[in-house]
């Protein structure tokens, strides 16, 4: 029976979880137990560990497909990481997550390259300033899509996505 959310709560009991997902969850839980929780560490420490390959996910893998471009933004230059496949049928804007503190555009390269190639879309991964002392969103957005040219593609050939804190950034850029 569905509750007010429209979801069947029985799908979320342990017996309903397939064995592959349960094994992954157990492995992830064990891995996370071996390191300090991110919010207990200074942001600079976590950033440096990730960049040097000492973070939880190991060394960064950078895509040879990716190129970088800088565009002007409301609070300074914005770095874009572009994944341009041979055939382009649309554009996909991706804003990374990281709780407004960690994460960078180049830290999602393998997944974004797969999206670009599998979906024949130009992927635009937006970098933005991380905030060293607070998790509170800044008053001025540092990541905005350009207001002209390719950002005005028909809905059927463009998409936007983000992870973690990027969901709020996506909501803000979508209203512009």
Answer for the pair 71, 77: CB distance below 8 angstroms, yes or no. Answer: yes
Residue-level pLDDT at 56: 81
pLDDT tens readout for residues 143-153: 444 444 444 44
Q: How many CA atoms lie within 13 A of 102 on its CB side?
A: 15
Output the six-digit token pair for 31: 């891995």
Region label for 105, one of left (φ > 0), alpha (ψ between -120 and 50) or beta (otherwise): alpha
Answer whether 150's CB lies under 8 Å from 157's CB: no
Tokens in use for 37?
């929780």
pTM (2 decimals)? 0.67
Residue-wise pLDDT for 125-136, tens only, equals: 998 766 654 444
């Amino acid at each position: 029976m569905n509750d007010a959310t429209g979801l069947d709560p029985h799908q979320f009991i342990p017996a309903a979880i397939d064995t592959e997902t349960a094994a992954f969850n157990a492995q992830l839980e064990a891995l996370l137990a071996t390191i300090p929780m991110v919010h207990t560490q200074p942001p600079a420490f976590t950033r440096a560990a990730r960049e040097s390959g000492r973070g939880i996910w190991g060394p960064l893998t950078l895509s040879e497909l990716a190129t970088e471009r800088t565009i002007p933004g409301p609070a300074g230059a914005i770095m874009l990481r572009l994944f341009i496949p041979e055939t382009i049928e649309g554009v996909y804007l991706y804003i990374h997550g990281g709780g407004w503190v960690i994460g960078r555009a180049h830290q999602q390269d393998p997944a974004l390259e797969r999206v670009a190639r599998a979906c024949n879309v130009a992927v635009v991964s937006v970098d933005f300033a991380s905030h060293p002392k607070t998790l509170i969103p800044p008053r001025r957005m540092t990541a905005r899509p350009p207001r002209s040219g390719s950002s005005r593609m028909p809905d059927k050939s463009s998409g936007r996505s983000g992870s973690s804190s990027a969901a709020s950034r996506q909501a803000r850029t979508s209203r512009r």
